[in-house]
Amino acid sequence: MEPLGAVSATALVDRLERPLRDLRISVTDRCNFRCTYCMPKEVFGADYAFLPRSEVLTFEEIERVARVFVSLGVEKLRLTGGEPLVRRDLPALVEMLASIRRPDGQPLDLTLTTNASALRKMAGPLAAAGLGRVTVSLDSLDDAVFGAMNGVDFPVAKVLDGIAAAQAAGLGPVKINMVVRRGINESSVLPMARWARTAGVTLRFIEYMDVGHTNGWRMDDVVPADELVALVDAEMPLVAEPPRYRGEVATRYRHAEGTGEIGLIASVTKPFCGDCTRARLSAEGRFYTCLFTGDGHDLRAVLRDPAAAGALDDAVLREAVAAVWRVRDDRYSEERTEATSTRLPRIEMFAMGG
């Protein structure tokens, strides 16, 4: 077994020696929530023009791209959106992806991030299709606060019911992502931490990030990870845990008394660019090497090129992906300044998945 952080001599790496290990696949740019930090309803109203169906990758195209990424070292696939559960027949795609094997014959880590609005209905079919785990976005247990965050007054009870369905279907351990924005839901931090311990889920606090340009991000809105840890630790003592693998996004803490842990995703105050192993595929087939970027590489054009077919097409696609990754040098969060956070062009998070 390779030591933590080890990279094999044959691995595809970028200019900073970071391997390609994780692929996040946005299956749709649509969502039934209007979260203030992602798709504020003031911008994404009823007349917003989402992608026409013809421009969205088919399941067969997604599978083909995924197989190519796996051949280059990807070990984990995460389905995202928008909201992935609004994509029709999603279990069929899950079944296709679950059949992919790594070069060593091992199965992939196949996961999904959801707002859980349709999880009660979908948990069983997704598990049966081969999905391994789910991560649920939930920013408060208070209906008024959660409604203010999700923009459509969706009730907490329905999210909790979806989480229970996921647990019953074996889609665990379930992780909960809570974006914390100062003055909006920081009062929900401790109630969420208490609930997570009793519910048997892993809570991860996420610093409010400057993804895209529509959420009105300001540094003053960020509740730093250290402040969040101190808040929880004062009531429920925490012990820092070492990372389990290179590129682990969350800094983890276990509860000193009893079981359970919390995680912190602190890309604003404690950037982890140096170990970033993640690539992203947008719903229309653009390949992004950083969450905070405006530049994507068009893989759909390769997939739909009538001049290429079969094995040749896969070889061309494989080299297109590898060529992009080899020259990757993204480390936005480490270089972030007040100027770059507001002026540099960046794609919106819903378009390529968080």
Q: What is the pLDDT of residues 245-298, one digit of tens each?
A: 777 788 999 999 988 999 999 888 887 787 899 999 999 999 999 887 778 999
Look at residue 1 and tell me if it is in a domain.
Answer: no
Look at residue 229 and tell me if it is in a domain.
Answer: yes
Residues 193, 141 contacting (CB under 8 angstroms): no
Note down the domain range covering 330: 22-352
Q: Is the C-alpha dihedral spanning 154, 140, 27, 332 positive or negative?
A: positive
Least confident of 74-83, 291-300, 309-318: 309-318
Q: Is the C-alpha dihedral spanning 227, 228, 233, 239 positive or negative?
A: negative
Best CA proximity match to 317, nearest among 21, 66, 10: 66
Look at residue 316 and tell me if it is in a domain.
Answer: yes
Look at residue 5 and tell me if it is in a domain.
Answer: no
Percent of the chain with pLDDT over 90: 68
Question: For the whole prediction, is pTM greater than 0.95?
Answer: no
Best CA proximity match to 278, nearest among 17, 21, 18, 8: 21
Give the pairing type, strands 133-137 and 109-114. Answer: parallel
Q: pLDDT tier at 2 (50, 70, 90 boundaries)?
A: very low
Look at residue 227 and tell me if it is in a domain.
Answer: yes
Is the model more confident about 266 or about 201?
Answer: 201
Which region, left, alpha or beta, applies to residue 209 given φ > 0 means left and ψ of -120 to 50 means alpha? beta
Which residues are bridge partners to 135 per DSSP?
113, 175
Instruction: Kindly tell me if the per-residue pLDDT of 37 is higher than 90.
Output: no
Q: What is the pLDDT of residues 43-75, one digit of tens each?
A: 888 889 999 999 999 999 999 999 999 999 999
Look at residue 168 and tell me if it is in a domain.
Answer: yes
Based on the structure, what is the number of domains in the chain? 1
Look at residue 257 and tell me if it is in a domain.
Answer: yes
Q: What is the pLDDT of residues 109-135, one digit of tens each?
A: 999 999 999 999 999 999 999 999 999
Please report, for the domain that includes residue 114, its CATH number: 3.20.20.70
Look at residue 70 and tell me if it is in a domain.
Answer: yes
